[in-house]
Structure 1
């Protein structure tokens, strides 16, 4: 696919969260290795983290800069966010539409509005041949530049709406559609005014109207989504020819991880488990500490991604961990993953053929948890309602299920053979090369 005579300039605009940015880093590194220039119009908190990987940092602010802000202050923002918001995660997903999902969309919209002139200036400076957006709200500058844009969906693909599938953010079962219409009606009730105002502003910037219920454009040229075929919904909701599935998007930039000698020499029957609630969920230290304490009663060895409040977490004797760990190097070595159900962790776990216990916190994590459970690759537990016996029982059941472990391993091998990272890079590269050749 790569044309050694043509160097493209590819601009990525990922959501500021770790999941979308990390998966864009994965694709971007492939394009970089092919000789293309890769520009990241990422949120400013990524400053200094992308350039060492070879990318051009063209960062944007999503709100007025705070002159007194520091890295510590940025980290404290997310700690405060989880502390203030975590009570919402205990509500049914239907109730979260008004109290969490709509305010989150509004905050993202405010960021898009603020970033628009900055993004236009970045595009004017770098003149990208193809623009890539991995976000859940539109940035009009990406679709009005004159160059083609590619959309990436790095959340659960229920975000690509259609008949025959459960509503995104609901966590509802595929086999029981009874709650689907009431959920969509409540989504419309709580989001319609926000959508109408944003849609009007998007068109004022010269961009096309937004699709109904969607806050982001779909590309007419090419769209990507990150989700394994084995979990996908395409049997119930087929997708058009512009959509391309990346079964996984495994970044290749994580540092190596060496298993401690005590873990390698663990007693017979003791498994190795990876525990992570993600970059945000880890700030809910009451939940994380409870999981640690319960798992601390077992003979298993546990690697813990401790999150932004790591200094407040007490690991037990059978554990090691750090605030940030090289997840893609750890998962291949473990027997089981206990996760919040973020799309990166879900797809990475299945990429390596690992069963999961999923305790969702917010957004599409409910959908991933439900899909893992109903396809038989793991167990969904009530995040704040599980009992100690439920968690421990799920751990032992999944570890003892040799049929599941063999099926998961075979699925992981199939996913790895499909090379999702390079599928995504190929699509973006083709779009860019077609544009350059057409221009010439």
Structure 2
């Protein structure tokens, strides 16, 4: 190990990227480095709870922390009517407005981020975001891009466009999505390029909002499900981490009484997806009629659920230590967020993915076409379809064998420790 260095982690203000970075930072801290998080005020305390120093940068108009914490949940909840649309149909609404909001975060951050970095004095900056924050590139130390979303966030002519949910070989879908995305997003992209110009940065090609790091790029996507690219990624600059599962406190499964001998399911649509309580209540009603136990993550909406009428085989909570829960269950139902996607693969658990936005569409398609689970529409399903897919997750020999093989591969790799080694190697190469 090189002498202690200061590593800044700057993940997107969402729990997926944030907690992936925690896993890497835990491993870097174990190597003796000082790990500091730069974050939106709405994430105050998230990283401190894991023992890390936090610095806050406003990425929107300043507001009280409790109001900031609700910014993205309110944004997502406002789009619930669009969740049932196809990825192509979401371009005009959710996708466009999301990119507008993301570009605004880059503009706002540039007001404070340069000063915060000068205060921290990092030796290395790790960014898990989908947009460039110019100050991180211009500070003057090596910067690393972490790709915690689907691998297709790094584009290639032969693979599905990011956010499209297209099949790997469905080139007609690729072309149609790209065409519409570039048309709809062009005003947002033009505005972003104007902002980059004011920061002394070159414009990006249409549809792109970030770039590869010339130093190092870490992909959390596991190799067993990666895409077949026309232009292979440079192995010296692009490293597959096989997931980055953080360490969480142990979890004890609650007593389900007469259902204690039944298969155990875990259901989670993430902190943002929990806002669609109608969807989760529909799933709970279905599970109440099935011969399973179920742990259901309902986020900050626990008060919306009547515990007295809750089925005896269903347990709801506002939060579960997911990396400690998934190893204990038999199958997982989730929204396709990359944490849930990679953690299921890491622990060898088949998954049913019901996506609603962003790369959940890509991961849902990928889990099915690689044989690690099943893709379902988030609302338009029948009890018979849902029950059949759960049974396949529990009993299909090929699915279980494939998940077990992928789990063995990933666990033999040790993503967080491997990431920490790559970062330490870059520090040693830079500073001796």
* TM-score, normalised relative to structure 1: 0.93
**2:281 counterpart of 1:289:** yes
Distance 1:208 1:416 in 2: 40
Give the SS at the match of 2:59.
Answer: coil
How far residue 189 of structure 1 moved from its aligned partner, in angstroms, is: 0.4
Distance 1:83 1:118 in 2: 29
**CA RMSD between the two structures:** 1.7
**2:121 counterpart of 1:127:** yes
* TM-score, normalised relative to structure 2: 0.95
**2:341 counterpart of 1:351:** no
Give the SS at the match of 1:168.
Answer: coil
1:55-94 maps to which residues of 2 (within 5 A)? 55-66=52-63, 69=64, 71=66, 73-74=67-68, 76-94=70-88
Give the stretch that moved more between structures: 178-187 or 424-433.
424-433
Give the stretch that moved more between structures: 74-83 or 396-405.
74-83
Match of 1:112 in 2: 106
How far residue 17 of structure 1 moved from its aligned partner, in angstroms, is: 0.4
1:26-425 maps to which residues of 2 (within 5 A)? 26-66=23-63, 69=64, 71=66, 73-74=67-68, 76-234=70-228, 238-241=232-235, 242-252=237-247, 254-262=248-256, 266-267=260-261, 270-314=262-306, 315-425=310-420
**Structure 1 residues 206 and 170: CA distance shift in structure 2, 3 A:** same
Give the SS at the match of 2:56.
Answer: coil
Give the stretch that moved more between structures: 299-308 or 254-263.
254-263
Distance 1:291 1:422 in 2: 37
**Structure 1 residues 102 and 330: CA distance shift in structure 2, 3 A:** same
**Structure 1 residues 427 and 264: CA distance shift in structure 2, 3 A:** farther
How far residue 211 of structure 1 moved from its aligned partner, in angstroms, is: 4.4
How far residue 70 of structure 1 moved from its aligned partner, in angstroms, is: 5.5
**Structure 1 residues 244 and 296: CA distance shift in structure 2, 3 A:** same
Distance 1:374 1:120 in 2: 44
Give the stretch that moved more between structures: 163-172 or 397-406.
397-406
Match of 1:12 in 2: 9
Give the 4+ runs in structure 1 shifted more than 3 A: 73-80, 234-237, 261-265
Give the stretch that moved more between structures: 145-154 or 172-181.
172-181
Question: Do the aligned residues in 1 keep the contact of 2:245 with 2:323 (CA within 8 Å)?
Answer: yes
**Structure 1 residues 209 and 91: CA distance shift in structure 2, 3 A:** same
Aligned length: 428
How far residue 237 of structure 1 moved from its aligned partner, in angstroms, is: 5.0
**Could you list the per-position Cα deviations for residues 369-404 of structure 1 after superposition, in whole angstroms to 9, with x for gaps in the alignment?**
000011111110111211121111111122121232
Distance 1:300 1:379 in 2: 18
How far residue 98 of structure 1 moved from its aligned partner, in angstroms, is: 1.8
Give the stretch that moved more between structures: 334-343 or 232-241.
232-241
Distance 1:426 1:278 in 2: 30
How far residue 296 of structure 1 moved from its aligned partner, in angstroms, is: 1.1
How far residue 236 of structure 1 moved from its aligned partner, in angstroms, is: 5.1
How far residue 168 of structure 1 moved from its aligned partner, in angstroms, is: 1.1
Question: Do the aligned residues in 2 keep the contact of 1:263 with 1:301 (CA within 8 Å)?
Answer: no
Give the SS at the match of 1:90.
Answer: coil
